[in-house]
Structure 1
């Protein structure tokens, strides 16, 4: 199973391989320059820049395949040398074949063998110099937070943390047995004085022990020990929280909310106004004319359909659409289904191509909606699902949208089962937590692409 460190591992690996690739190219070029007046210089059968880029590409490919673990703190010299040797051999074979078949140079020459030997030495030195040391940790307090922290520090071996043990007013039977009990919080300073190789102290004592906490802070600050305070929130919060500041006052939030920032709000609103105005003043009049003519010819009733829906902060507003169904009494309570008899053939076409949603650009201009956001639901659905799905109402922290992340990731249309709506809500919350202007542009692109190709859930 992939842990939350997986993405970090991947980016660090990419960075290390990139550095190694640059070293490879630079070393080849230096060797080429230093052998300019020797017979070795004549083995190149292609421009030297082309050869160097080919060599770098070969190294990058072979190194990514071999994998990188050498940035870890806990690593021995023989592991470094064996890893570098393996990478160098793989690279030598791959590049030798490519250079020979492509007639770039003679890969079996003394020049290239010398290059591979120097590369092995250079990469070995590079990795030995960047390897860090182990970091030793003590925990003060044995609440749920520090127990969870213990597992985080020890299950990821590459981080190089070693937990010596924990202090508390009495041994905690719930604490892992492999983590020894070291004594009471009053004994911490004496222990640190006798064990000078302690680097980090994580304290989760309750605030009523402020006298002890302050003395620990003072000691750590004066003896090169990093002090960290671990808030005791596990008894009422089980999910990740985020640290924020208002002036000098710290507080924890349940999730990042990029759209709570004034600058992001202004950017999103400006885009909504410009985008909706451009559409309403150019393509919309033509579409309106065509839709009006066909609608009047195929079914009686108004061209537009308006329905009360829940928006920002659960505020009700009228959402506009082109009417795709015959006038009926169930419009505000019954969701459209695949073979819904209320739909007309023309209505099916509009729904399949999302033409029926276009009048909502009027809602965007009025400020009730945004181009991108969680889709607004009928009042009846909001009332029902808010009782059935945990965190359902979180989606109302932002303006609803004409399209959204859930809609372009497979949760558009009818929600036949509760799990379908739960998936949509998870997508809406993910969007709120990860909003960016680039993400909005990507969702708009995906929406247009899906409309052109057609969607099986659009009915």
Structure 2
């Protein structure tokens, strides 16, 4: 199969390039280290005899670490962000070994400074080669290379959108060879066939199909699912499933065995892991302290005076919001509205008469959210996470939107993925909130420290450029 050949070649090529570069860097920085020690003439054989054991350790360590970090796995749906994350993990883990070995042999191997330069150079090279390969594969697939022949069986409300997406994104490298449906009219379009398991089998063999995309909860009988899985296994081809809704939870299941008895259970979310919780909390404390000490220390008095002159007291507005685990907390904001009984139960709308003149400016620039860094320091919010909603809103959408409650599995944030994606501002329909929940659910399921950094950077750019959807 094309995919297997290309993936193996890509893996071997990347590995060889990295190992060769590590060898070159190793001897280059050894010469620099010896030069610092006042030893100017050292032959290659002399360096090799003195340090070949360390070199072998470095090469073997790099390889085995890469198996854990998935450094050389560039899938069709892999993004540049994931490549960067895997590369960072690889270098961080490898650096532990590099510094440890250098420390043991500090007299004639690398100093801490040389080790640091060695690791930085290695990171830049390995990331750039992976980024170049990533872009090359995208372009190559767009031109028709490294493709996979696929078919679609059955249809649900997401099938056509997914087919349309793949037809536009040629860089994924999928060729649609046919759609097999339960009921096909006489005036059929090209590549649309009536589903028949026997005919489908021969079609797969004749057309050298490599992947079956099967639409769940479609129009075909339920027993087709099992028959299709068995057929795919017999023909040794992949079968993938298109969910009928983005909220389908079947893909969140994992398999455990009690002796030989299989049991399915939901996968844990990344922030269920205690180490991830500690990492996120440490970052929250450090980041919020930095903002409070270096920004809010002078910004808070300025905005406070401006609010007092514009509309009087109070400066802060404490609103009840729903946080981690569904618990209610007081969310701090600079007051941007006139005092009203509706402020805790009525959501803000465009042109809201309750918003003060200064309040409109604070909202547009998101400066009204700045006191929430005190919430972060207290621990009832995070720098990044789903935005907390009013209690009334939360109760309503929890009853009317599937998977809404998943956003309560992490701490609410000052900014979040939904805001960076542009899903903020006035809520005019159920769909407006649904878009936010889709982004929030993705964040809960796919959290990583790198994703938090990307969201923070995206928020900064939006704040500086101005967010038109802010109200």
TM-score range, shorter chain: 0.5 to 0.7
Which residue does the alignment assign to 2:311?
299
Q: Equivalences for 1:176-325 in 2 at 5 Å?
A: 239-243=250-254, 251-254=263-266, 257-325=269-337
Q: Secondary structure at the match of 2:344?
A: coil
Residue 422 of structure 1 corresponds to which residue in structure 2? 434
Equivalent pair of 2:376/2:382 in contact (CA under 8 Å): yes
1:17 and 1:64 in contact (8 A); partners too: no
| Consecutive unaligned residues in structure 1, runs of 5 or more | 1-8, 24-55, 73-146, 162-172, 183-197, 203-224, 226-236
The alignment partner of 1:67 has SS state of coil
Deviation of 1:239 (Å): 2.9
2:358 counterpart residue number: 346
Call closer, same or farther: CA 1:365–1:423 in 2, change over 3 Å.
same
Q: For residues 175 and 295 of structure 1, what CA distance do their matches in structure 2 show?
A: 66
1:70-219 to structure 2, matched below 5 A, reads: 158-159=209-210, 175=223
Report the Cα distance in structure 1 between the residues aligned to 2:315 and 2:335, rounded to whole angstroms.
Answer: 6
2:452 aligned with 1:375: no
From 68, 71, 76, the equivalent of 2:145 is 68
CA gap of 1:339–1:178, structure 2 versus 1, over 3 A, is: closer
Call closer, same or farther: CA 1:21–1:400 in 2, change over 3 Å: closer
Q: Tell me, in whole angstroms, the C-alpha distance in 2 between the residues paired with 1:315 and 1:337.
A: 26
SS across alignment from 2:342: coil
**C-alpha displacement of 1:435:** 0.5
The total of aligned residue pairs comes to: 284
> When the two structures are superposed, what TM-score results if normalisation uses the length of structure 1?
0.53
In 2, distance between residues paired with 1:277 and 1:388? 38
Partner of 1:361: 373
Q: CA RMSD in A?
A: 4.5
Q: Is the 8 A contact 2:3 2:146 kept in 1?
A: no
The offset of 1:263, in angstroms, is 1.0
Cα distance in 1 between the residues matched to 2:327 and 2:458: 28
Q: 1:427–1:253: structure 2 CA closer, same or farther, 3 Å change rule?
A: farther
Whether the aligned pair in 2 keeps the contact of 1:369 and 1:401 (CA below 8 Å) is: yes
* Alpha-carbon distance, 1:392 to partner: 1.2
2:367 and 2:334 map into 1 onto residues whose CA distance is 8
Larger radius of gyration: 1
Instruction: Please give the per-residue CA displacement for 1:22-48, whole angstroms capped at 9, x wherever unaligned.
Output: 99xxxxxxxxxxxxxxxxxxxxxxxxx
Shift in CA distance, 177/12, structure 1 to aligned 2, threshold 3 Å = closer
Sort the Cα spacing of 1:329 and 1:178 in 2 relative to 1 into closer, same or farther, 3 A: closer
1:67 Cα deviation after fit? 3.0
Q: Distance in 2 between matches of 1:199 and 1:425?
A: 34
Contact 1:13–1:68 (Cα < 8 Å) also in 2: no
Cα 1:381/1:238, change in 2 over 3 Å? closer
- CA–CA distance in structure 1, aligned partners of residues 4 and 300 of structure 2: 49
TM-score by length of 2: 0.52
Instruction: Give every structure 1 segment of 4 or more consecutive aligned residues whose post-TM-superposition deviation is greater than 2 Å.
Output: 9-23, 59-72, 153-161, 173-180, 198-202, 244-256
Q: 1:351 to 1:18 in 2, by over 3 A?
A: same
Distance 1:177 1:429 in 2: 27
Counterpart in 2 of 1:105?
Answer: none
Which residue of the partner structure matches residue 412 of structure 1? 424
| Structure 2 residue aligned with 1:122 | none
1:447 is the counterpart of 2:447:
no
Q: C-alpha offsets along residues 325-375 of structure 1, whole Å, 9 cap, x if unaligned?
A: 111111101111110111112111110111000111111111101100010
**What is the alpha-carbon distance in structure 2 between the residues aligned to residue 280 and residue 295 of structure 1?**
19
Alignment of 1:30-49 (within 5 A): none
Unaligned residue ranges in structure 2 (runs of 5+)? 17-131, 150-196, 213-220, 237-247
Q: Is the 8 A contact 2:410 2:444 kept in 1?
A: yes
CA contact (8 A) 1:17 1:60 kept: no
- Deviation readout 1:114-147 (Å, 9 max, x if unpaired): xxxxxxxxxxxxxxxxxxxxxxxxxxxxxxxxx9
